[in-house]
Amino acid sequence: MASSEAEREAMTRALALALNGPRGLNPQVGAVILSAAGEVIAEGWHRGSGTPHAEVDALSKLSPGQTRGATAVVTLEPCNHTGRTGPCSQALIDAGVSRVIYALDDPGRASGGGAERMRAAGLDVESGEQQDAARALIADWLTVQQLGRPHVTVKWAQSLDGRAAASDGTSQWITGPAARADVHRRRAASDAIVVGTGTVLADDPSLTARDGDELYEHQPIPVVIGARPTPAAASVRRHPREPLFYDTRDLTAVLDDLRERGVQRVFVEGGPTLASAFIAAGLADTVLAYLAPVLLGGGRLALTDIGVDTIADARRLTVDEWLPLGDDLLAVARPSVLKERS
């Protein structure tokens, strides 16, 4: 049975409601409840981990008699597991809802399967309504579910001969203003910005995302990885967000902890050693290489050892975009074969 005009409008509204919820460990989800006559009688959205899911939030605003024979329109398949809250699929069944329309299947092994549960209970269940819009809404969260960790972007700036700094260690600025502005826009779109202690000690970066002299409204969490202590007067300690420090070389453990904190997009910007470590570990999902038309020579390479001993082991990339930025050029690339973590 195809969705009615009222149901399509309800999905559009549910997608807008979902944006009220926070990005993080859980997906942004919206829900609208329609009466048997197709009128909106309740709305809801998920307000974060541990709070009622969107469907239950909407149902809570109705009496039992109002939900009998109603239609629930939800941006994500109602869940089928008990975590900090109960299964939404069962809540809809218990409420007496007769029809459920949702946009996307839940990809979780534990949480998915709500549609089957509801169909088995006799509900009319339809999927796919505005699925492209729903996928775009929670694309970062879906990526985390696929990879089992946050999406990692590794960025560096280099001369045409592959150097990240001059022989004396100076690197500001290899690229021009347009490239640097692009970096800050991408920082602002990330949840966390990661550097090594070497970068903190050498450059004392603030790790903020700036639009000219002003801070972007959204600031990534600053993350410092390495055994050496960060000085008390370091600029990163004055960041608008509380910085995180990891005294470890276990990058997978760092990403796991960041995921538990709700981080979905990680922006690695801190030095050749750290960038090379992420790439060598197979943890770079996107590479941003800013190429400046300068020659530096010397040994300060943009990357160090990434585990390639012979050309047959070269880490092949697919370039998705070549983006001119003033006099500079940005290559946006990804590994030719992305390996999902089992």
Does residue 342 form part of some domain? no
Instruction: Among 75-84, 88-97, 227-236, name the one with the lowest average pLDDT.
Output: 75-84
Same-domain status, 104 and 117:
yes
Same-domain status, 122 and 249:
no
Rounded distance between C-alpha atoms, residue 147 and residue 163, angstroms: 31
Same-domain status, 65 and 138:
yes
Instruction: Among 92-96, 154-158, 170-174, name the one with the lowest average pLDDT.
Output: 170-174
340 pLDDT above the threshold of 70: no
Rounded distance between C-alpha atoms, residue 213 and residue 150, angstroms: 29
- Contact in structure between 133 and 247 (CB atoms under 8 Å): no
110 pLDDT above the threshold of 70: no
Q: How confident is the model at residue 235 (pLDDT cuts 50, 70, 90)?
A: very high
Count CA atoms closer than 13 A to 325's CA, side-chain side.
Answer: 24
Same-domain status, 191 and 228:
yes
Residue ending a domain, among 144, 168, 196, is 144
Total domains, the chain: 2
- Which one of 7, 43, 55, 77 is the catalytic residue? 55
User: Considering the chain, what percentage of its residues have pLDDT values greater than 90?
Assistant: 68
Same-domain status, 156 and 134:
no
Give Cα 291 to chain centroid, integer Å.
26
Same-domain status, 156 and 279:
yes
pLDDT digits (tens, 9 = 90+) for 194-230: 999 988 988 889 999 999 889 999 999 999 999 999 9
1 pLDDT above the threshold of 70: no
- Contact in structure between 217 and 189 (CB atoms under 8 Å): no
Same-domain status, 241 and 289:
yes
Q: How confident is the model at residue 112 (pLDDT cuts 50, 70, 90)?
A: confident
Residue ending a domain, among 114, 144, 174, is 144
* CATH code: domain of residue 275: 3.40.430.10
Does residue 90 form part of some domain? yes
Same-domain status, 269 and 128:
no
Annotated catalytic residue 260? no
* CATH code: domain of residue 130: 3.40.140.10
- Contact in structure between 33 and 59 (CB atoms under 8 Å): yes
Same-domain status, 112 and 208:
no
pLDDT digits (tens, 9 = 90+) for 147-167: 889 999 999 999 999 998 888
Rounded to two decimals, the pTM is 0.79
Cβ neighbours around 334 below 10 Å, total: 15
CA distances (Å), 188 to each of 24, 193, 289, in order? 15, 9, 18
Does residue 340 form part of some domain? no
Same-domain status, 110 and 168:
no
Residue ending a domain, among 144, 169, 197, is 144
Same-domain status, 331 and 262:
yes
Does residue 209 form part of some domain? yes
Host domain of residue 10: 5-144
Rounded distance between C-alpha atoms, residue 80 and residue 152, angstroms: 29
Same-domain status, 177 and 84:
no
